[in-house]
Amino acid sequence: MEPVNIKDTLKVNPKKLEGFESVAILELDGYLDTYNSKNFRQYVQDIVNEGYKYIIINCEKLTYVSSTGIGSFTSFNRMLIQKGGELILINMIPKVYEVFKLLGFLSFFKIFSSLDEAKQFLSGGVSTTTTATTTSPTGTNVFPIQADCPHCGKKLKFSKAGKFRCPNCQNIIVVTEKGDVEKG
């Protein structure tokens, strides 16, 4: 796995995660947007084709990500989940985190503040706030729940609280800690 420059705007330094089978770390340096996302997608596709099921993206030096870049991450996650793996994001700077938050994508990804937390997750030893089991005030678990989209009425399942996008009408849905489903 060799480092690569993608259109001189994004440097990718790939590594194998020692002690873990089929886990790659991609350290990103630069920005990810419409200009370079197609080439970046092909690069990640090649890594997945090498047999990696889990990809950890170190966002510490990722200075900017556009909605197209987040779309790339969404595609990778879907592809990896189909192979029995997942995309994990670590060391996200506040500016990039805010883009994910504003676009309502925090609940779609495993996001950790360090590589050690990601390793614990891969070892089965930790969960994130976006995947933590939610309990009601009485102490009983309210998730998973099944509810109708408040916009279009499509039946949906939710495994946790957060913001989601309805796959049918594309509107934002908010699921509260108590399990209430509201328009976003």
Residue 178's pLDDT is what? 81
Residue 160's pLDDT is what? 76
Please give the residue range of the domain that contains residue 97.
4-122
Identify the H or E element spanning 73: helix 67-82
Question: Which CATH number does the domain housing residue 11 bear?
Answer: 3.30.750.24
Q: Are residues 102 and 157 in the same domain?
A: no
Residue 134 included in any domain: no
Q: Are residues 166 and 94 in the same domain?
A: no
Residue 133 included in any domain: no
Task: Assess contact for 107 and 100: CB atoms under 8 A.
Answer: no
User: β-strands 110-112, 155-158: how paired?
Assistant: unpaired
Task: Assess contact for 184 and 104: CB atoms under 8 A.
Answer: yes
**Tokens representing 156?**
């949906």
Give tens-digit pLDDT for 51-96: 999 999 999 999 999 989 889 999 999 999 888 899 999 999 998 8
Give tens-digit pLDDT for 87-128: 999 999 998 888 888 888 888 888 999 999 999 888 874 433
Q: Are residues 94 and 13 in the same domain?
A: yes
Residue 139 included in any domain: no
Give tens-digit pLDDT for 13-25: 999 999 898 999 9
Q: Are residues 84 and 160 in the same domain?
A: no
**Tokens representing 39?**
């080439």
Give tens-digit pLDDT for 119-175: 988 887 443 333 333 333 334 467 678 888 899 998 887 777 888 888 888 888 888
